[in-house]
């Protein structure tokens, strides 16, 4: 429990044998549940997870995708009575040490969604943290397109370090969302439609080129497709409280 709130750390896992145990070990013990969804890993990840005490492992027999893993873990978090679900990646790019700052924002600002933003830490911090220039500018471009389309002022749509409240998870129809890698943008769009409060906090940057699971070109096209679909349907979103 953290400041009177029940916390579930939620980790989507796929072929993460190299780093997953270390990330779990470094996570501050401020959680009530640590839920790992093994999304059909074919490496040693399942065996490693069996040896780690104090976590709940849910295994998908087949790989459903990054979004599919998130759907499972958020439902499990709500089932276990969590007030907030924190997504933490398996590869160490998002520091477990930043977790209290995200939860502080969720609690103090009564936010339904908290985004841990590398962009808010500044361009130099991102580049010094190892983010390639093309990915930094690609992130900024896609975020600018999304902000223009959705009428928002979000610093970074493309962060994988997030907190969702139980209210947010219950309000959003997870079944309607993609199971692909652009789930992170898809769920924010749904949060906006439900007028959920979104907060943002700067986080540290630790980028490793060999750990990304998404092809940057394909991912960019998927985001643009999501924006185009929204625009063509002519939907309007009242700006979320930010």
d(CA 31, CA 34): 7
Q: What is the pLDDT of residues 135-152, one digit of tens each?
A: 999 999 999 999 999 999
Of 50, 83, 55, nearest to 164 by C-alpha is 83
Instruction: Tokens for 232, please give them.
Output: 């063509």
Task: Tell me the pLDDT band of 240, cut-offs 50, 70 and 90.
Answer: very low
Q: Which range is least confidently modeled, 17-21, 96-100, 181-185, 230-234?
A: 230-234
Average pLDDT, stretch 14-29? 97
Segment 39-68 mean pLDDT = 98
- pTM for the predicted model, two decimal places: 0.92
Mean model confidence pLDDT for the chain: 93
CATH of 7-232, one of 3.90.550.10, 3.40.640.10, 3.40.50.150, 3.60.15.10: 3.90.550.10
Q: What is the pLDDT of residue 227?
A: 94
How many angstroms from the chain centroid is the CA of residue 56? 19
Output the 3-class SS for the chain: CECCECEEEEEEECCCCCCHHHHHHHCCCCCCEEEEEECCCCCCHHHHHHCCCCCEEEECCCCCCHHHHHHHHHHHHHHCCCCEEEECCCCCCCCHHHHHHHHHHHHHCCCCEEEEECHHHCHHHHHHCCCCHHHHHHHHHHHHHHHHHHCCCCCCCCCCCEEEEHHHHHHCCHHHCCCCCCHHHHHHHHHHHCCCCEEEEECCCCCCHHHCCCCHHHHHHHHHHHHHHHHHCCCCCCCCCC
């Amino acid at each position: 429990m953290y400041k009177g709130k029940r916390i579930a750390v939620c980790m989507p896992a796929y072929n993460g044998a190299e780093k997953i145990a270390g990330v779990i070990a470094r996570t501050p013990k401020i959680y009530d549940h640590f839920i790992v969804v093994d999304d059909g890993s074919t490496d040693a990840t399942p065996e490693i997870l069996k040896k780690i005490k104090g976590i709940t492992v849910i295994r998908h027999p087949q790989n459903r995708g990054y979004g599919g893993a998130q759907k499972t873990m958020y439902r499990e978090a709500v089932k276990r009575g969590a007030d907030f679900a924190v997504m933490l990646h398996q590869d160490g790019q998002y520091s477990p040490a930043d977790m209290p700052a995200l939860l502080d924002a969720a609690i103090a600002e009564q936010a339904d969604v908290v985004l841990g933003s590398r962009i808010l830490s500044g361009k130099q911090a991102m580049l010094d943290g190892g983010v390639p220039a093309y990915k930094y500018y690609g992130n900024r471009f896609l975020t600018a397109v999304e902000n223009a389309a959705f009428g928002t002022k979000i610093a970074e749509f493309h962060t994988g370090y997030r907190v969702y409240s139980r209210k947010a998870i219950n309000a959003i129809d997870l079944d309607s969302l993609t199971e692909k890698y652009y789930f992170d943008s898809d769920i924010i769009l749904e949060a906006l439609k439900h007028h959920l409060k979104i907060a943002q906090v700067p986080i540290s940057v630790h980028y490793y080129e060999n750990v990304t699971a998404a092809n940057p070109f394909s991912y960019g096209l998927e985001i643009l497709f999501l924006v185009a679909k929204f625009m063509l349907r002519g939907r309007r979103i009242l700006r979320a409280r930010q």
